[in-house]
Amino acid sequence: MAFSPNASQVDDGLKSELAKKGIVVTTLNQLYNWGRRSSIWPMQFGLACCAIEMIATACARYDIARFGAELFRPSPRQSDLMIVAGTVTKKMAPQVVRLYNQMAEPKYVITMGACSIAGGPFIDGYNVLRGIDRYIPIDVHLPGCPPRPEALLYGLMELQRKIDGQEIETTEWYQKGLKREYPIPDFGPHGLIPKFNPEVWNPRETENRKERYGEPILIGRKDKAPNLDLPPAPPRSAAPAPAAPPPEPAS
Amino acid sequence: MLSTADLKTKIEAAIPGTTLKLVRESLLLENPNDLLKVARFLKESDLGLDYLSSVTGADYLTYLESVYHFYSMAQKSGPVVLRVRTDRQNPQIPSLTALYRGAEFQEREAYDMYGIVYEGHPDLRRVFMWEGFEGWPMRKDYQQEDSETLEMADVAWLENQGVKVPEPIKAKAEELEKQGKRALAQKPGQPEPQ
C-alpha cells in the first residue's frame, strides 16, 4: 500500500470560510477514512518486553484512547491492527502468521521494536526470527528497544496518515479476488521452512554488516573454552595489576 | 556451612570409592556413576541440601559438563556446586529426577541444548526446541542455518503452497542441492579496534 496524501479538490481556505458560516464541506473518502482511522482496534497480544510499553501506552498516562485505539480485542476476527510487540521466536512465528491470516480486512500491522523488525540483539541466534516481515507485509516499522510509549503513539499517527491516504474506489479490500493470507511456515530440522516468503520479503542485495565488519566467521562455532584448572581470569574492567616491585639487589 | 575442601573429605569418607576434585569453588565428581549416591548423601545426611536449584550443561570442547547447584532450605546454606563430566560422543549422566523432582525440566533443557542424555529420566525429550529439530544448538560446534539463502526444501515447500519463487533464488538453491551442501550462516568478524 503506497502512501498518498488525501488530496481534496476544494480549496482549504474556502473550506475554512464555509465552516465559519456553519457549512461543512467534505468528501466521501475523507469522511470514510476519518471514521476508520479514529477507531482502530488493535489486537491484544504481546510477545516480550515491548508489550509492557504497549500496555503503558494503553494506560492513563499516555492514553491511546485519545487516538481512538483503546479497544484491545482478544480475537483476531475483531481487530484491525496487529502490533507485533516483542521478539518473534521461530517457535512463535507460525502462530503470528496464523493470527494475521485470521484478521478481517482491512488489516494493518505495526512491528514494534528492533526484535520484530529484524531480530534485534538476537539477530544471530538460532532461535529468533530475523524480522516478522519475512512472512507478512508490514505497514509501519517502529524502531526502539523498546520504543517509548510516545513512539508507539507516533507510529499509530503514521498509520492514521496512511489510512487517510486510501481511497474507497481503489482500496484492495473492495477489489475482487483479494486474498491477503500468507502460508504459515513449518518447523524444519534446522529452523523454519521456508526461511522467508519471497512474495513478501527478499534478501538485501548488499550485505552491509559484512562490508562494515570485514571477513565473516561461522556463527556458533567457537574454538575456545576456559581451562578450569587455571585460576579465573580477572574481570576485564579491573585496573591493571601494579608492576611487581624490583627484586632486592643481592647484597 | 563447611568449606568446599572439608565437604570433599566428608563426602569421600562417607561414600567409599568416590573421588572428588576441587575445581575453583566447586566439586568435580570423577565418576558420573557415583552421582546418585553423592546426591543422596547431600540430601539425606546432616548437610540437608534439600533444594536442587539448577541443573545446567556446559561445553568445554573436549568434554561436556553438567553442573548442579544444591541449597539447603532448612539450614539456609549453600550453594554446593557439583560438576560431572562426560564425553562428547556418547554423553550419559544419571538423572537426579528420582531424588529431586525439580530436576526434571532442567535436565530436559540441558538435553535439549547440549544433548546430554540423563539416564533414568522419566520423560527425556526436547523442551524449548520443537520435535524434529536436529542438532544441539548450544554446543560450540553447532552450525546454524543461513537464514538469507533458501534451500531446495524451502523452494519445494513454497511451490507446493503456490508461491512463485524468483529464478535467482531458485538457481542458488539448486546449486546448493547439486553440491550436497547446506546453507550455513556466516557472521561478520569482530570489528577492528579503533
Q: What is the ipTM of this complex?
A: 0.86
Instruction: Decide if B148 and A203 are in contact by the 8 Å CB cutoff.
Output: yes
pTM of the full structure: 0.85
- Enumerate the residues of chain A whose CB falls inside 8 A of the CB of residue B132: 187-189
Question: What is the tens place of the pLDDT at every residue in A182-204?
Answer: 999 999 999 999 999 999 999 88
pLDDT at A179 over 90: no
- Enumerate the residues of chain B whose CB falls inside 8 A of the CB of residue A230: none
pLDDT at B191 over 60: no
Omega before A106 within 30 of 0, i.e. cis: yes
**Amino acid occupying residue A207:** E
**Amino acid occupying residue A68:** G
| Choice among A10-24, A64-78, B92-106, B144-158 with the minimum mean pLDDT | A10-24
Q: Which of residues 143-182 of A touch B (CB under 8 A)?
A: none
Which grid coordinates belong to A179?
Answer: 486474498
Average confidence (pLDDT) over A108-131: 91
B4-119 has CATH 3.30.200.20 classification: no
Instruction: Decide if A226 and B188 are in contact by the 8 Å CB cutoff.
Output: no
pLDDT at A220 over 90: no
> Between B156 and B190, whose confidence is greater?
B156
- Enumerate the residues of chain B whose CB falls inside 8 A of the CB of residue A220: 137, 140-144, 185
Given pLDDT bands bounded at 50, 70 and 90, which one contains residue A168? confident
Residue from the list B62, B143, B166 with its beta carbon closest to the beta carbon of A218: B143
Given pLDDT bands bounded at 50, 70 and 90, which one contains residue A1? very low
**How is chain B split into domains, by residue range?**
4-119, 143-187
- Enumerate the residues of chain A whose CB falls inside 8 A of the CB of residue B155: 194
Q: Given CB atoms, is A241 within the 8 Å cutoff of chain B? A: no
pLDDT at B190 over 80: no
Distance CA A194, CA A20 (A): 59
What DSSP string runs through chain B?
---HHHHHHHHHHHSTT--EEEETTEEEES-GGGHHHHHHHHHHSTT---EEEEEEEEE-SS-EEEEEEEEETTTTEEEEEEEEEE-SSS-EEE--TTT-TTHHHHHHHHHHHH--EEET-TT---SSSPTT--S-TTSTT---B-TTS--HHHHHHHHHTTPPPPHHHHHHHHHHHHHT---B-EEE-PPPP-
Q: Which of residues 12-71 of B touch A (CB under 8 A)?
A: 23-24, 59-62
Q: Which of residues 96-115 of A touch B (CB under 8 A)?
A: none
- Enumerate the residues of chain B whose CB falls inside 8 A of the CB of residue A89: none
Q: Which residues does A173 contact at the CB level (< 8 Å), separation at least 6?
A: A105, A106
Average confidence (pLDDT) over A18-36: 88
Distance CA A212, CA B22 (A): 45
